[in-house]
Homo-oligomer: A and B are copies of this chain.
Amino acid sequence: MKRGLIIVISGPAGSGKGTVVKALREKMPTLGISVSATTRNPRPGEVEGVHYFFITKEEFERRIASGEILEHTYYCDNYYGTPKSELERITAEGKDIIFEIEVNGAIQVKKLFPEAVAIMLLPPSAKLLESRLRGRGTETEEVIKQRLRRARDELKLLHHYDYLVVNGENMVDDCVELIKDIITSEHSRTSRMTDFAEKFFEDNN
């Protein structure tokens, strides 16, 4: 079976990546869904390996150190993260998987999975990025400036990415269509079609 794709969507705060990934998931119901690992206790009805993999803090930290956790966050005194094995399981089933991840995390995924497709999402200009951050009305001036500085640094890492998708105002649907086109065409890359090529002459020998 042909392996699924690992698609990494990243971009600075204000790029709209959360909205785009949510819309993408709705439009592509065949996407694989990875089960996260967590250190919090299971709630009633939660099933190991279905809702989460429940592990101890010590085990979680060991897995971070050994590279078994692809990316993680620490929230309310507990770890949440994506096991590398989940990506291998899902793509081996022939399903594509999409990750929304911050810029440095995305580069990390590309190192672990060089065949991953990394997409950077950006608004049409830094001016618009700034006005989106201000429009939220939730961040202080200092935080906004800090995020803009960070976006500037993040843009310097663009060459690690395969694609740059521009997310204009009210253009979420166009972004989603473009990313769908990218996914479709990436499946036809010659590097992913070696099985087909090998089998092509099989019945003719």
Contact = CB atoms under 8 A, between A and B. Distances in A.
Interface in A160-204: 161-166, 178, 181-182, 184-186, 188-190, 193, 196-197, 199-204
Contacts of A184: 178, 181, 185
B152 A164 contact: no
A102 interface: no
B190 A163 contact: yes
Contacts of A188: 163-165, 178, 182
Interface residues of A, number: 35
A159 interface: yes
Nearest to A204: B126
Contact of A182 (B185, B196, B199): B185
Given A155-B197, A181-B184, A196-B166, A204 B127 contact: yes
Nearest to A165: B188
A189 B127 CA distance: 23
Contacts of A166: 196
A53 B203 CA distance: 47
A125 interface: yes
B155 A200 contact: yes
A97 interface: no
Query: 9 closest A-B pairs (Cβ-Cβ)?
Result: A181-B181, A164-B193, A126-B204, A182-B185, A185-B185, A126-B201, A163-B188, A181-B184, A181-B185
